[in-house]
Amino acid sequence: MKKILFLVAACFAFASCQTNVKNEATAQAQKEVAVSDHVEVLYFHGKQRCATCMAIENNTKAAIEENFASQIKNGDVVFRVIDISQKENEEIAEKYEVTWSSLFVVKYKNGHETSENMTEFAFGNARKSPDVFKAGVVKSVTDMLN
């Protein structure tokens, strides 16, 4: 009788493990489908921001909205402002190894991710050469779309 109970318990344990594996595989497949081909422009910042940090956000937003309105509308281009001081943003900050204001352009294509770190370019141009900065952002996004 003990052997039968042990076998029944083992079968239930095995069956429940298999269900979790299937659910995890299904969730992963759904996650991959949900990430369609697109380009994201990610501006990371902390609680306190300097004038240059504000210029990076404002000029990036302007460049994206002025040049990619139709792509924004259909989801091909996404602009995200991410406060790294917020707990919910820790994971993405760690993913891109961000510890202060940063700008990334990220391409998602066929399940692969390619990113360009534009932080140095942004700090060098966003405030004092906004037209150069905007042109650089537009070029990067355009290159990633192609």
State which residues form the domain around 42. 36-145
CA 76 – CA 112 distance, rounded (Å)? 15
122 and 140 in a single domain? The answer is yes
Count the helices and strands in the chain (H runs, E runs).
6, 4
The per-residue pLDDT for 23 is: 43
* 33 confidence band (pLDDT: 50, 70, 90): very low
pLDDT in tens, 112-129: 999 999 999 999 999 999
Q: Are residues 42 and 97 in the same domain?
A: yes
Residues 15 and 46 in one domain: no
Number of domains forming the structure of the chain: 2
Those residues with Cβ within 8 angstroms of residue 77's Cβ, 6 or more apart along the chain or in another chain: 38, 39, 40, 41, 64, 68, 71, 141, 145
Name the CA dihedral angle for 37, 90, 93, 139, rounded to a multiple of 10 degrees: 40
29 and 46 assigned to the same domain: no
pTM attached to this predicted model: 0.74
Tell me, yes or no, whether 41 and 57 share the same domain: yes
**Residues 61, 5: one domain?**
no
Question: What is the domain-level CATH number for residue 79?
Answer: 3.40.30.10
